[in-house]
């Protein structure tokens, strides 16, 4: 088998106990299953070794975060295809085979994701990925099925195969050679937005990113860092600014950064008014670290431009998703102005 399912774990024994046996059952014959442990102290590895001896283990001595953890682990995995899977995801029969077949049938597709539904509310799209990811002109990510905090009910409206801008790292099928060609994840990001950064790099290299509804998985979400944790707010705002600075095609990049910082300021004010002062503080903290990073990010920006080849930016939205959501009141992906998306040069199928 030249496909490897790699689950990055950090003190997630309860999720492994709940979901890993099913992963093994539904993946048998289609892929190897590997748990890469980020220096856990909760007995995760002892449980895996005692209860699921067929699962391979990569043990790391410290927590490298999502980005560094996967880079370290995947460097030790010999496979043609990787499937990165969060430990709090419930998979379904044939899931790994379905993802592999989708990518393998499209030689210029680097990666894809399945339909991502909520584990708790099983007819609702899950925040992290939903039915494929997009990004607006200010670097704010959103999905088919999820705009900011609003997630849609699944009524089959996104039952298709199509190109998207980014695919979720919670369940990501990716060609090993494409992952290495892009240099893996940016370890400075630690966690959050790293898959968007990777997919944007792959897009600039001419690769396609896909979504298929032929496979459905169910995600708890926030397994390692809860959605209400202020640390998550810090990582999302800092990393989003960093990714925008690295990749956005614009001669007016500093003006775009200033505009984005202004929008973030309104987001911080909204947090404060709603009684989430800790989250408002984390937005300011994210901005301070971003400015410390800025000179290095600009150098990285110039380096990436030299690597660009036949860029395919399908899914870039040339409007403000924040304006559309909070001023115009648009709540669904279907509400958006679809003339403002970069269109695919070719259909997924």
What is the percent of the chain with per-residue pLDDT over 90, rounded to a whole number? 87
Q: Which domain, by its residues, includes 212? A: 3-219
Calculate the alpha carbon distances from 12 to 20, 38, 227 in Å: 11, 10, 16
pLDDT score for 96:
98
Residue 348 predicted with pLDDT over 50: no
Q: How confident is the model at residue 224 (pLDDT cuts 50, 70, 90)?
A: low
The closest of 349, 32, 316 to 200, measured between CA atoms, is 316
| Residue 190 DSSP symbol | -
Average pLDDT, the chain: 93
Predicted local distance difference test score (pLDDT) of residue 342: 85
Write the DSSP string, 137-149.
Answer: TTS-EEETTEETT
Any domain includes 345: no
The confidence band for 221, taking pLDDT boundaries of 50, 70 and 90, is: confident
pLDDT digits 0-9 by tens, 127-149: 999 999 999 999 999 999 999 99
What pLDDT does 312 receive? 82
Q: Do 42 and 126 belong together in one domain?
A: yes
Domain contains 316: no
SS (H, E, C) 219-232: ECCCCCCCCCCHHH
Across 96-100, 301-305, 315-319, the highest mean pLDDT is recorded for 96-100
Reduce the DSSP state of residue 317 to 3 states and report it. Answer: strand
The residue from 185, 219, 253 where one domain ends is 219
Number of H helices, E strands in the chain: 10, 14
On whether both 285 and 189 belong to a single domain, the answer is no
Spell out the long-range contacts of 227-231 with Cβ–Cβ below 8 A and sequence spacing 24 or more. 227/127, 230/278, 230/279, 230/281, 230/282, 231/282
For residue 32, being part of any structural domain is answered with yes
Q: Does 225 reside within a domain? A: no
Q: Are 320 and 259 in contact (CB under 8 A)?
A: no
Of 138, 113, 134, the closest CA to residue 334 belongs to 134
Residue 324 placed within a domain: no
- Does residue 287 share a domain with residue 161? no
Rounded percentage of the chain residues whose pLDDT exceeds 70: 97
pLDDT of residue 310: 85
Residue 153 lies in a domain: yes
Q: Say whether both 256 and 214 belong to one domain.
A: no
Confidence check: pLDDT of 329 > 90: yes
Same domain, 157 and 243: no
Q: How confident is the model at residue 344 (pLDDT cuts 50, 70, 90)?
A: low
Give the per-residue pLDDT at 225.
58
User: Residue 111 maps to which CATH number?
Assistant: 3.90.550.10
Q: Are residues 105 and 124 in the same domain?
A: yes
- Is residue 199 domain-shared with residue 52, that is, in the same domain? yes
Residues 11 and 43 both lie in one domain: yes
pTM for this prediction:
0.93
Q: Which of 219, 242, 266 is the last residue of a domain?
A: 219
Task: Find out whether 32 and 10 touch, Cβ atoms under 8 Å.
Answer: no
**Same-domain check for residues 200 and 275:** no
In a domain, 299, yes or no: yes
d(CA 331, CA 335): 7
Residue 317: inside a domain = no
What is the total count of domains within the chain? 2
Question: Does 137 lie in the same domain as 209?
Answer: yes
Confidence (pLDDT) at 213? 98
Residues 132 and 259 grouped into a single domain? no
The whole-angstrom separation of Cα 162 and Cα 140 is 21
Whether 168 and 296 share a structural domain? no
């Amino acid at each position: 088998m030249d496909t490897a399912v790699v689950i990055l774990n950090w003190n997630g024994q309860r999720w492994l106990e709940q979901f890993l046996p099913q992963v093994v059952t539904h993946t048998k014959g289609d892929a190897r299953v590997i748990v890469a442990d980020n220096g856990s102290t909760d007995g995760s590895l002892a449980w895996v070794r005692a209860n699921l001896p067929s699962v391979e283990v990569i043990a790391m001595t410290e927590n490298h975060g999502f980005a560094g953890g996967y880079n370290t682990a995947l460097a030790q995995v010999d496979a043609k295809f990787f499937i990165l899977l969060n430990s709090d995801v419930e998979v379904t029969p044939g899931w790994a085979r379905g993802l592999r077949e989708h990518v393998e049938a499209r030689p210029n597709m680097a990666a894809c994701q399945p339909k991502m539904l909520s584990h708790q509310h099983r007819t609702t799209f899950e925040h992290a990925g939903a039915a494929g990811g997009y990004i607006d002109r200010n670097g704010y990510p959103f999905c088919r099925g999820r705009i900011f905090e609003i997630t849609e009910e699944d009524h089959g409206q996104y039952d298709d195969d199509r190109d998207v801008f980014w695919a979720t790292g919670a369940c990501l099928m990716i060609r090993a050679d494409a992952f290495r060609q892009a240099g893996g994840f940016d370890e400075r990001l630690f966690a959050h937005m790293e898959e968007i950064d990777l997919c944007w790099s792959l897009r600039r290299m001419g690769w396609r990113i896909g979504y298929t509804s032929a496979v459905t998985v169910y995600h708890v979400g926030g397994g390692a860092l809860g959605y209400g944790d202020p640390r998550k707010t810090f990582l999302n705002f800092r990393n989003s600014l960093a990714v925008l600075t690295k990749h956005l095609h614009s001669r007016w990049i500093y003006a775009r950064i200033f505009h984005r910082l202004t929008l973030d300021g309104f987001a911080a004010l909204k947090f404060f008014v709603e009684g989430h002062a800790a989250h408002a503080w984390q937005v300011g903290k994210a901005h301070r670290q971003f400015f410390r990073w800025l000179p290095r990010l600009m150098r990285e920006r110039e380096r990436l431009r030299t690597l660009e080849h036949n860029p395919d930016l399908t899914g870039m939205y040339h409007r403000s998703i924040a304006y559309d959501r909070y001023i115009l009141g648009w709540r669904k992906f279907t509400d958006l102005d679809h003339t403002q998306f970069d269109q695919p040069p070719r259909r997924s199928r």
